[in-house]
Every structure is written in structure tokens, then in C-alpha cells.
């Protein structure tokens, strides 16, 4: 089966590409490299010993997508491509709406034209807005607290409308919690541009000596040590969720949302401790003000993904920190030589 992987040079896409190749799928990757490097794909080839086609193309340009569908016998699509920085989406919202919405509209229009109706979409736990309780299940009310989150919510709505109009579609909306970690080879991992926004990439750079200390955003949340609680999921486990979702959309029609998390919540200070253990040194930190918009606690009810996809995670927080550190220490400047 040939699968188009949009955004396949990125963090989650490259880890998923490995598992697709290992499972015997043919893949075609498209990415405009706006937030990634072609080197990640060279490393995917190195890890798997398999080759695949790569198109450096922007999904905002519909003709480029059409060309890919003409030249390949695509049967399903995993759609990772999108801009994802919450803070940046607040300062340049139009770019986020333009990129994330147009890419998805173009992709779906071309899929429709070629009668390809199997789609796995990268949504996010951000679609739950400020959840009234935890764990969060898929039936919780949806809302957005920033333009990035609103693009995910809008795309979910568009895909629900699409399915309602044509029941031949088969769509999985994967709501990721907090993906971290890296492939165990240490060859691929998360390579944020500039100063990282997210906790673990930031800690990784503190551990590697590139940043002085971690700013812990608040210790007065109603959690066990006052710092924010999140559901961190190893990117390799998360990649496995895409294989399960692909199997699901290949064998049944409909549209369903699935939480992909572990169901466990850890505080910022617990992550700091696990990372210190992984890298063998103290992670200096200072408590600072809360980050505006942050929720105190967010973790998944994972029962639907378990029952309907057969998805479960095996890797622990310690594994996530060890693999993150292996990637960081082997590649202090990411994919840059
Ligand atoms: P990433 O930035 O590493 O990967 C996204 C890829 O999409 C990048 O390689 C980028 O160059 C590409 N891209 C962006 N716009 C494009 C366009 N118009 N045409 C072609 N390529 C384009 O991000 P990631 O962490 O791998 O996330 C993948 C997806 O998962 C995104 O949609 C993101 O919103 C979603 N997601 C990520 C997280 C997270 O914490 N990492 C959490 C929830 C959801
Ligand atoms: N944190 C710090 N210091 C930092 C960075 C983060 O204390 O420098 C804290 C945050 O306050 C939060 C926790 O670490 O309590 C995790 O923060 P992240 O920024 O790593 O992750 P978020 O849960 O805020 O957001 C991430 C993605 C969103 C996505 C969401 C749910 O950035 O895009 O997970 O999937 F929507």
C-alpha cells in the first residue's frame, strides 16, 4: 500500500515514516521544509535501509499536490503538515490560518478528485481548550484558546462536514497529547528552530549547556507539587498509533477522533527529575510566573484508542528522557552539520 506522508520531514512524521517502512508500506513524503530539514529523511533511509520518494513542495499550492497524485498510486494519506507554535500563532494568526487551512483544503480536494478517501489527520489535545476535568475523553466539549488550536478545531469540523457529505470517506482524527523523546538510534529527534517553546526540548538544551536554566511556569497550580501536569507520550509510541489508525481507516468507513496519550500525568518537576537522571546532571531551574493560557492539568482517557484501535503505549517517562538526551547529546545542533 502506498501512503502519502505530508510533513514527513518533521518530528512526528519522520518517526512515523520509519515504522511505515518497517511495516512494508511504500511511502511518498511531501514537505516544504519550513520547519524541518531534508537530513531527517536521509536518516530515516539510513535507519530503515529503505528508499522512498520525497517531494519538496508546499501544500498551499494545489498543483503541486495534484502532480504528486498523478505520479504515484497513492491509496491513503497521513497528514502531519502544519505550523504548530502556539505563541507564534497569536502574533501571526493569518499565516497559521492560511497555511494550515489551505493545505488541508487543497489536500482533501485533490484526494476527492483522485477518489482517495482514507485520511489520518494530526489533531491535538489543544482542541479540548480548558477541560473541566481530567482525564479527558473524546466526548468532552471542544474549544480553542489560540489561533493554532482554532486551525485544528476548524480542520476537524471541515473533515466532519466532508464525511457527512460523502460516507465513503474514512478519517481518523488523532488528538496527540505531549509527544517527546526520540528514536532509540539517536539519529532522529525534535529539532526546534531558535529557542524551544516546549518543556522537554528546552530542558534538553539546558542539559546540553546551550541554555542556562529552565523557567518553570508557576508552582501554584492545583497539582501535587504546584507545577503543570501533562500527558507525555514517547514519539515512537505515538508513531505506532498512526499505524493502528491507518489500519483502521483502511478497513472501515467513518470519522472518529482518538486521544493518543499514555493516560499518565507528570508535573514539570517530575520531568526535570527524570531528565536529570537520564543525563546524569542537575537541571538548574527557577520558578517564574505562570504562562498565560496554560491549563493546570491535561491528560488523556485512553480507553477509546485502546478498544477501537488496539493502541497502547509501552515506553516510560524515563525512556522518553533517555532517548531525548541521546538525540540531544549526539546532535547538539540538531540536523545542522
Ligand atoms: P513539525 O513542525 O516537526 O512537522 C510538521 C512538518 O510540516 C514540518 O516538517 C513542516 O516543514 C511541514 N509543513 C508545514 N507547512 C507545510 C506546507 N504548507 N506544505 C508542506 N509541508 C509543510 O511538527 P510535529 O511536531 O512533527 O507535528 C506534526 C503535526 O502534529 C502538526 O500538524 C502539529 O500541529 C501536530 N501536533 C504536534 C504536537 C507536538 O507537540 N509536537 C502536538 C499536537 C499536534
Ligand atoms: N513549561 C515550563 N517551562 C517551559 C516550557 C513549558 O514550565 O519552558 C511547562 C508548561 O507550563 C506546562 C508544561 O511545561 O505545564 C508543558 O508545556 P509544553 O509547552 O511542553 O506543552 P503544552 O502542554 O503547553 O502544549 C503542547 C503543544 C501544543 C499542544 C499541547 C497539547 O505545544 O501545541 O501540547 O497537545 F496543543
At residue 186, the pLDDT reads 98
State the distance from the centre of ligand 1 to the C-alpha of 83, rounded, in angstroms. Answer: 6
Decide if 145 is inside a domain: yes
At residue 16, the pLDDT reads 99
Q: Is 89 in the pocket of ligand 2 (CB under 6 A)?
A: no
Decide if 31 is inside a domain: yes
* Protein residue with least CA distance to atom 44, ligand 1: 124
Q: Which ligand is nearest to the CA of 265?
A: 2
Q: Is 261 in the pocket of ligand 2 (CB under 6 A)?
A: no
Q: Strand pairing partners for 2?
A: 26
d(CA 294, CA 221): 10
Q: Please tell me the pTM assigned to this model.
A: 0.99
pLDDT above 90 for 7 = yes
Cβ atoms 65, 40 nearer than 8 A: no
pLDDT above 80 for 279 = yes
At residue 227, the pLDDT reads 98
Shortest CA distance to 154 belongs to which of 143, 163, 164, 169? 143
pLDDT above 90 for 330 = yes
Decide if 91 is inside a domain: yes
- Check 96, 148, 232, 335 and give the catalytic one: 148
pLDDT above 80 for 323 = yes
Decide if 117 is inside a domain: yes
At residue 35, the pLDDT reads 98
Cβ atoms 271, 199 nearer than 8 A: yes
Average pLDDT of span 167-176: 99
pLDDT digits (tens, 9 = 90+) for 69-105: 999 999 999 999 999 999 999 999 999 999 999 999 9
Domain assignment of residue 238, given as a range: 2-180+232-261
Q: Is 268 in the pocket of ligand 2 (CB under 6 A)?
A: yes
Decide if 193 is inside a domain: no
Count of the separate structural domains present in the chain: 1
Shortest CA distance to 10 belongs to which of 84, 98, 120, 60? 84
Q: Is 238 in the pocket of ligand 2 (CB under 6 A)?
A: no
Decide if 249 is inside a domain: yes
Average pLDDT of span 230-251: 98
At 112, the pLDDT band (50, 70, 90 cuts) reads: very high
Decide if 162 is inside a domain: yes
State the distance from the centre of ligand 1 to the C-alpha of 226, rounded, in angstroms. Answer: 31
Decide if 164 is inside a domain: yes
Q: Which ligand is nearest to the CA of 200?
A: 2
At residue 64, the pLDDT reads 98
At residue 108, the pLDDT reads 99
Shortest CA distance to 82 belongs to which of 180, 154, 163, 162? 154
* Protein residue with least CA distance to atom 39, ligand 1: 179
Is 97 one of the annotated active-site residues of the chain? no
Q: Which ligand is nearest to the CA of 238?
A: 1
The domain that contains 135 carries what CATH number?
Answer: 3.40.50.720
At residue 155, the pLDDT reads 99
Which whole-number Å values give the CA distances from 227 to 146, 211, 212, 218, in the listed order?
Answer: 22, 21, 20, 6
State the distance from the centre of ligand 1 to the C-alpha of 10, rounded, in angstroms. Answer: 6
Amino acid at each position: 500500500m502506498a501512503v502519502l506522508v505530508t510533513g514527513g520531514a518533521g518530528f512526528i512524521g519522520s518517526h512515523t515514516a520509519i515504522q511505515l517502512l518497517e511495516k512494508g508500506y511504500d511511502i511518498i513524503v511531501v514537505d516544504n521544509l519550513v520547519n524541518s530539514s531534508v537530513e531527517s529523511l536521509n536518516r530515516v533511509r539510513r535507519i530503515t535501509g529503505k528508499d522512498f520518494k520525497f517531494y519538496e513542495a508546499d501544500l498551499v499550492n494545489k498543483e503541486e499536490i495534484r502532480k504528486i497524485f498523478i505520479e504515484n498510486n497513492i491509496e491513503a494519506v497521513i497528514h502531519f503538515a502544519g505550523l504548530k507554535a502556539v505563541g507564534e500563532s497569536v502574533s501571526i494568526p493569518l499565516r497559521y490560518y492560511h497555511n494550515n487551512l489551505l493545505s488541508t483544503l487543497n489536500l482533501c480536494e485533490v484526494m476527492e478528485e483522485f477518489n482517495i478517501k482514507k485520511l489520518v489527520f494530526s489533531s491535538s489535545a489543544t482542541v479540548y481548550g480548558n477541560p473541566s476535568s481530567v482525564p479527558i475523553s473524546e466526548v468532552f466539549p471542544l474549544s480553542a484558546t489560540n489561533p493554532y488550536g482554532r486551525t485544528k478545531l476548524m480542520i476537524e469540523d471541515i473533515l466532519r462536514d466532508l464525511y457527512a457529505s460523502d460516507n465513503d470517506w474514512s478519517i481518523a482524527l488523532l488528538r496527540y497529547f505531549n509527544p517527546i523523546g526520540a528514536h532509540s538510534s539517536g539519529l532522529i529527534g525534535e529539532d526546534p528552530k531558535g529557542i524551544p517553546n516546549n518543556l522537554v526540548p528546552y530542558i534538553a538544551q539546558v542539559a546540553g549547556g546551550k541554555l542556562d536554566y529552565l523557567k518553570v511556569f508557576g508552582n501554584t497550580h492545583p497539582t501535587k507539587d504546584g507545577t503543570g501536569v501533562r500527558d507525555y507520550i514517547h514519539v515512537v509510541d505515538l508513531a505506532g498509533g498512526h499505524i493502528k489508525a491507518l489500519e483502521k481507516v483502511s478497513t472501515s468507513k467513518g470519522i472518529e477522533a482518538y486521544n493518543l496519550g499514555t493516560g499518565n500525568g507528570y508535573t514539570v518537576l517530575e520531568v526535570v527529575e527524570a531528565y536529570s537522571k537520564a543525563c546524569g546532571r542537575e537541571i538548574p531551574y527557577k520558578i517564574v510566573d505562570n504562562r498565560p493560557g496554560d491549563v493546570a492539568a491535561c491528560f488523556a482517557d485512553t480507553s477509546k484508542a485502546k478498544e477501537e484501535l488496539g493502541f497502547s503505549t509501552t515506553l516510560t517517562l524515563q525512556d522518553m528522557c533517555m532517548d531525548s538526551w541521546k538525540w540531544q547529546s549526539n546532535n547538539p545542533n540538531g540536523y545542522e552539520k
